[in-house]
Amino acid sequence: MKSILICGIGRFGTHLAVNLAKQNVSIMAVDSRESVINSIAPFVTEALIGDSTDELFLKDIGVRNFDVCIVAIGDNFRSSMETTSLLKELGAPFVVSRASGDRHAQFLTRIGADDVIYPEKQLGEWAAIRYGSNHVFDYFAIDHDYAVFEVAVPKSWRNRSIGEINIRKNFDISIIGIRNNGKMTLRIFPDTILKGNETLIVVGDNTSLHHCFNI
Domain of 188, CATH number, reads 3.30.70.1450
What residues contact 71, with CB distance under 8 A and at least 6 apart? 7, 8, 52, 80, 83, 84, 87, 95, 96, 97, 98, 113
∠211-144-97 over CA atoms, to 5°? Answer: 145
Domain end: 85, 117, 149, which one?
117
Which pLDDT value is given to residue 89?
95
Domain extent for 15: 3-117
Do 63 and 5 form a contact (C-beta atoms < 8 A)? yes
Look up the pTM and report it.
0.71
Same domain, 134 and 209: yes
d(CA 116, CA 143): 13
Residue 66 backbone phi and psi in degrees, to 5: -95, 140
Same domain, 132 and 89: no
Same domain, 109 and 10: yes
pLDDT at 33 over 90: yes
Same domain, 110 and 127: no
Domain end: 96, 117, 138, which one?
117
Same domain, 88 and 131: no
Do 36 and 54 form a contact (C-beta atoms < 8 A)? no
Same domain, 152 and 187: yes
Least confident of 1-5, 79-83, 129-133: 129-133
Same domain, 61 and 136: no
Same domain, 16 and 75: yes
Q: Tell me: the pLDDT tens digits for 102-152? A: 888 889 999 999 999 888 777 777 777 777 777 788 888 777 788 898 999
Domain end: 100, 117, 134, which one?
117
Measured torsion, CA atoms of residues 146, 17, 81, 118, in degrees rounded to the nearest 10: 30
Confidence of residue 2 (pLDDT cuts 50, 70, 90): very high
